[in-house]
């Protein structure tokens, strides 16, 4: 419990009246922290903190990299910037040793400031000084953790760059066309046969590394830390990350297995305009990045570059590629879907060389000044068109149907109409793709005009829907003919439920195996729906574990 003498050790409060000090003693929280614990995280709600003992490290993430901005010692305060500018905390404050801090709620701070204007003056002056320092740091260019050297049209190089971007690894990309390449790449330029080549922070060179090899060398988790978990989540898209956040926050030992990088298909979306709480929209990779940080902060393990190859329906033991096995009291399937493939002349040999399924934000800059084409008429295609329009000379949507309005949200249709360099060609489809080392042109068939025309093409991006990738699941997990997993009442209607109780709403035909997101049979395919189902799945996991008498671990 705080005492008046302890409060007065803080210079900001030293001159206060006995009445104001007494108010602080009675209203402030007395927080004691172990090393590594946070008084407040980056983005936390505003309040004023005063350090009574110990030492706090000020940390902030810049482009996915945590940086130490400074330290707070006994007698100092933090929280002045959020209070002065009505913003969340721009950085986090983590105890570096056993520490003690008092927290003053905003309304109590303003009451003290009203009776003692000097407090407000000191806090305001400190806020202006520190916000200036933050602005200076923010203006510094981020230092790349790794450098990738490879050809623009090399699919392996593109895959490495996408992997690094989606795991928030800041990196530079150099190619034979890079100006002043000899200055940018220290040492001999790699031979084409060795590419792509990755230079690590310690100057180690990796020739044609696999994603897992690169992940290991960069310190990303690629193996589970334990043999058994309360819940194992397969897939780290919005649904899987939501389940990870709620599972870890509610005391479940939680593991997420992701075959590539967190974010799922939503991670390739350039802008999600209708997600609750983001009035100006949010990119898919930003949403995935925030969710990933949140899940890890709460204690969930996120394992990347690992594929689940099988699951024992009786024990819920899953087998990872390489034969490693992990047991879990419950499993959550959040594998999402895979882009549907087109069978068109010339496509297969040009995948990753100008033809792409989906649209990673990292590909947009390479379309600068080019004419690019998108196949599809859904929201994903519309969002990508708006993003590419900021770089490409012309963006053309190729639509088999007779309108965009039938399959695209109205707000997107209106935004597309407002862009002078976006056009939509109806009743059209790609008949062939042409090019040697990379895509150079496409043949477009216009069914209405009964004509085929050839067009130079700087990039072709395909958004024609997706299919469930569930062929690896055991036959005990009921699916429809398209591979989507049945849950809840659909399981009972299909005659695939064998228990005395009713299945939970998101439970599959195998008790203890739950399903959320796009892989679940449902007419609703939205990011918000996936996030909601991920959180609901954890609620059902709790009920299942309680019913089965399984003890969960904090």
Per residue in 154-177, pLDDT (tens digit) is 889 988 988 888 777 878 889 988
Kindly state the tokens that stand for 161. Answer: 């760059």
Domain 348-464 CATH superfamily: FAD/NAD(P)-binding domain (3.50.50.60)
- Of 196, 363, 161, 370, the residue nearest 268 (C-alpha): 363
Q: Which pLDDT band, with edges at 50, 70 and 90, does 267 fall under?
A: low
* Mean pLDDT value of segment 499-510: 96
Q: Which pLDDT band, with edges at 50, 70 and 90, does 512 fall under?
A: very high
Residue 99 pLDDT > 60? yes
Q: Which CATH number fits domain 4-139: 2.60.120.10, 1.10.260.40, 2.40.110.10, 1.20.58.220?
A: 2.60.120.10
Same fold, 228-339+467-548 and 348-464: yes
> Do 19 and 90 meet the contact criterion of CB atoms below 8 Å apart?
no
Residue 505 pLDDT > 60? yes
Element (H, E) at 360: none
Task: Map tokens 């910037």 to a residue.
Answer: 81
pTM: 0.76
Per residue in 356-404, pLDDT (tens digit) is 887 666 677 778 889 999 999 988 899 889 889 988 999 999 999 999 9
* Mean pLDDT value of segment 34-59: 92
| CA 172 – CA 372 distance, rounded (Å) | 24
Task: Map tokens 């599959």 to a residue.
Answer: 508
CATH 3.40.30.10 is held by the domain 146-213: yes
- Specify the CATH class of 228-339+467-548 in words: alpha beta
Task: Map tokens 């009291």 to a residue.
Answer: 329
**Would you kindly state where each structural domain of the chain is located, as residue ranges?**
4-139, 146-213, 228-339+467-548, 348-464
Per residue in 232-241, pLDDT (tens digit) is 999 999 999 9
Highest mean pLDDT pick, 65-74, 218-227, 334-343, 543-552 = 218-227
Q: Which pLDDT band, with edges at 50, 70 and 90, does 282 fall under?
A: confident
Give the per-residue pLDDT at 516: 96
- Of 389, 398, 387, the residue nearest 272 (C-alpha): 387
Task: Encode 496-532: b = buried (16+ Cβ within 10 Å), e = exposed.
Answer: bbeeeeebbebbbbbbbbbbbbbbbbbeebebebbbb
Q: Which pLDDT band, with edges at 50, 70 and 90, does 58 fall under?
A: very high
Kindly state the tokens that stand for 160. Answer: 């490495």
Per residue in 293-346, pLDDT (tens digit) is 889 888 999 999 999 999 999 999 999 998 999 999 999 999 988 888 888 888
* Mean pLDDT value of segment 83-102: 91
* Mean pLDDT value of segment 194-214: 92
Lowest-pLDDT range, 263-267, 492-496, 501-505, 547-551?
Answer: 263-267
Q: What are phi and psi of 178, to 5 degrees?
A: -65, 125
Per residue in 420-469, pLDDT (tens digit) is 999 999 999 999 999 988 999 999 999 999 999 999 999 999 988 788 88
| CA 231 – CA 223 distance, rounded (Å) | 16
> Do 538 and 545 meet the contact criterion of CB atoms below 8 Å apart?
no
- Of 402, 406, 362, 376, the residue nearest 270 (C-alpha): 362
Give the per-residue pLDDT at 554: 46
Residue 65 pLDDT > 70? no
> Do 336 and 517 meet the contact criterion of CB atoms below 8 Å apart?
yes
* Mean pLDDT value of segment 19-45: 91
Residues making up the chain, counted from first to last: 554
Task: Encode 371-390: b = buried (16+ Cβ within 10 Å), e = exposed.
Answer: bbbbbbbbbbbbbbbbbbbe
Q: Which pLDDT band, with edges at 50, 70 and 90, does 64 fall under?
A: low
Give the per-residue pLDDT at 129: 84
Residue 141 pLDDT > 60? no
Mean pLDDT estimate for the chain: 89
- Whole-number percent of the chain with pLDDT over 90: 59
Q: What are phi and psi of 159, to 5 degrees?
A: -65, -45
* Mean pLDDT value of segment 110-123: 91
End-to-end CA, the chain:
28
């Amino acid at each position: 419990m705080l005492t008046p003498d302890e409060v007065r050790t803080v210079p900001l409060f030293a001159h206060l009246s006995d009445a104001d000090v007494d108010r602080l003693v009675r209203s402030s929280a007395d927080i004691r922290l172990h090393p590594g614990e946070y008084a407040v995280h980056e983005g936390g709600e505003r309040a004023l903190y005063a350090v009574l003992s110990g030492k706090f490290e000020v940390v902030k993430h810049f482009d996915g990299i945590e940086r130490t901005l400074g330290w707070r010692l006994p007698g100092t305060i933090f929280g002045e910037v959020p209070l002065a500018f009505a913003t969340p905390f721009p950085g986090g404050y983590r105890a570096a040793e056993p520490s003690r801090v008092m927290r003053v709620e905003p309304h109590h701070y303003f009451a003290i400031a009203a009776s003692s204007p000097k407090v407000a003056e000191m806090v305001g002056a400190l806020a202006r000084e520190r916000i200036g320092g933050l602005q200076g740091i923010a203006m510094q260019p981020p230092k790349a953790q790794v450098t990738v050297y490879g050809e623009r049209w090399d699919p392996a190089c593109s895959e490495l760059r996408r992997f690094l971007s989606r795991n928030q690894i800041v990196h530079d990309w150099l190619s034979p066309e890079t100006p002043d390449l000899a200055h940018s790449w220290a040492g001999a330029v790699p031979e084409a046969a060795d590419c792509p080549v990755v230079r690590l922070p310690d100057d180690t060179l990796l020739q044609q590394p696999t994603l897992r090899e690169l992940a290991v060398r960069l310190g990303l988790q690629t193996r589970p830390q334990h043999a058994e978990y309360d819940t194992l989540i397969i897939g780290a898209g919005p649904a899987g990350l939501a389940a990870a956040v709620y599972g870890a926050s509610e005391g479940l030992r939680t593991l997420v297995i992701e075959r590539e990088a967190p974010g799922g298909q939503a991670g390739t979306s350039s802008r999600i305009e209708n997600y609750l709480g983001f009035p100006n929209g949010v990119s898919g990779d930003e949403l995935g990045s925030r969710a990933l940080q949140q899940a890890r902060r709460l204690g969930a393990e996120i394992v990347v570059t690992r594929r689940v190859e099988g699951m024992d329906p009786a024990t819920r033991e899953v087998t990872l590629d390489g034969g490693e096995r992990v047991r879990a009291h419950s499993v959550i399937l959040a594998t999402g879907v895979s882009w549907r493939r087109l069978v068109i002349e010339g496509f297969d040999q040009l995948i990753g060389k100008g033809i792409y399924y989906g649209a990673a934000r990292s590909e947009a800059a390479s379309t600068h000044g080019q004419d690019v084409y998108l196949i599809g008429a859904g929201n994903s295609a519309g969002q990508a068109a708006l993003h590419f329009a900021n770089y490409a000379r012309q963006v053309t949507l190729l639509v088999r149907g007779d309108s965009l309005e039938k399959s695209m949200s109205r707000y997107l249709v209106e935004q597309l109409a407002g862009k002078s360099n976006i056009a939509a060609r109806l009743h059209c489809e790609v008949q062939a793709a042409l090019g040697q080392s990379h895509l150079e042109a496409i043949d477009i068939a216009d069914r209405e005009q009964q004509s085929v025309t050839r067009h130079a093409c700087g990039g072709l991006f395909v958004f024609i829907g997706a299919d469930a990738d569930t062929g690896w699941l055991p036959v005990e997990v009921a699916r429809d003919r398209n591979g989507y997993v049945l849950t809840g009442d659909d399981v009972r209607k299909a005659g695939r439920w064998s228990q005395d109780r009713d299945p939970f709403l998101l439970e599959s035909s195998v008790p203890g195996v739950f399903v959320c997101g796009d892989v679940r049979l449902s007419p609703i395919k939205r990011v918000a729906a996936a996030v909601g189902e991920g959180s609901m799945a954890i609620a059902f996991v709790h009920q299942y574990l309680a019913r089965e008498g399984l003890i969960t671990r904090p």
